[in-house]
Structure 1
């Protein structure tokens, strides 16, 4: 089989534009997913049964639905009512999907703090909300920072699915390029390399901050 790797440098602007769009969609999605995850994560450990039930339903339902199905549903169903379009439909779906996993990360972080911390705070006269804000959450934040960063990496890889609803990203640009150049092996190999570079670079950054965090705790 003959390979023509010159298709890569000839279309470098296509790959760069796609990679930037992928990062843009992923960053916006994670920025929306964070407050969603924090709110529902707190709801998961709430003393209010109704709030805890609502948070549990959201987490379990979203985690039990494939991202591809969620993308389709939001784009073709919600998108018809809210005029989301492919761009915001993709961001919304990714944010809702990632939010459910972030909620579980937040829940685990909070429950990982020894119960004695809350009991000690309450014995000092602090309300549950104040104790949670000033005592529990600062400690939980240190525990959840690494898995939150890893979730962002997962989101970048998951974002490759947004091309199915015609949202412009690296994968969609690659599909279009393959359709015109007929160089699928060359194009998809380079796309895989770009995804690896993005995720591996973020992994190195995460490891750096983890080491800094461990040093500050020492």
Structure 2
């Protein structure tokens, strides 16, 4: 009886954890939170006497012309955001891999260089870093605002990606290194054929989060007037004063992209788990 009395609370906790860990409950909580946010926004707009004009929003998403439907300003801005984020993330992956390998190398200068890079980037706000790239390095190296934005986002997220890659490499069992070394493989071959392929399953979830953060961070380049989704939204609001409608639509577009990315990577994670 005493053992049963002690185990019953544990069983109840496991049942509640299993219940609240289900997808249906997660969706319900998400819907509830979104409903509370929308309700608060509606109440605030009503207190301001705001005149909702949702019927004007579709024209900024899909514009009807004589030639048929064309992408509106918001969809064009979304495409620019995705292109900017993809370019910056590719740069971040490349730089992050180099920095991670330098930190894991036997070169004292390489480790010191990587450490200095990480400390500088991680301790400088993203907005300040953007101003440095655009207003300081831009005139020196002839960078336009688009290239400055890609470099800024790539460098900033490279510091975070490098730690993810380093942790993924360190997660591979030490015996894999020893086995590869024993058959005469070089360090480059070990990384290419043994370590990096095995570390992908460890790195994929945090890299997904970093890709989502990249898409959200790209909104900051609107301060230097780079043509992307947030800039398009600000331009429309300055012309139409549809503040609530436009920002809700912009938020929904960001949410749709990040959710699709998360579901795509979840499928990839399942494949890695089944294949392991």
How many residues get paired? Answer: 217
Which residue number corresponds to residue 215 of structure 1?
274
Residues 229, 250 of structure 2: 8 Å contact kept: yes
CA–CA distance in 2 between the matches of 1:122 and 1:134? Answer: 12
Report whether the alignment pairs 1:7 with 2:46: no
Q: Distance in 2 between matches of 1:203 and 1:138?
A: 21
Unaligned runs of 5+ in 2: 1-48, 62-71
Q: Could you tell me which of 71, 82, 102 is aligned with 2:161?
A: 102
Match among 53, 74, 82 for residue 133 of structure 2: 74
**Partner of residue 61, structure 1:** 120
Separation (CA, whole Å) in 1 of partners of 2:242 and 2:191: 56
Contact 1:7 1:186 in 2 (8 A): no
Segments of structure 1 that go 5 or more residues without pairing to the other structure are: none
TM-score, structure 2 normalization: 0.75
How far apart, CA to CA, are the structure 2 residues paired with 1:8 and 1:95? 33
Equivalent residue for 1:150, pick from 193, 209, 233: 209
Confirm or deny that 1:30 pairs with 2:89.
yes
1:195 lines up with 2:254 in the alignment: yes
Runs of 4 or more, structure 1, over 3 Å off, are 123-130
- Cα shift at 1:8: 0.8
**1:121 CA displacement:** 2.8
In the alignment, is residue 113 of structure 1 matched against residue 172 of structure 2? yes
User: Which residue number corresponds to residue 196 of structure 2?
Assistant: 137
Greater Rg by CA: 2
Name the structure, 1 or 2, with higher relative contact order (CA <8 Å, separation 6+): 1
Contact 2:201–2:269 at 8 Å: present in 1 too? Answer: no
Structure 1 match to 2:22: none
User: Which piece of structure 1 moves more, 109-118 or 68-77?
Assistant: 109-118
Within 2, Cα distance between the matches of 1:28 and 1:134?
Answer: 26
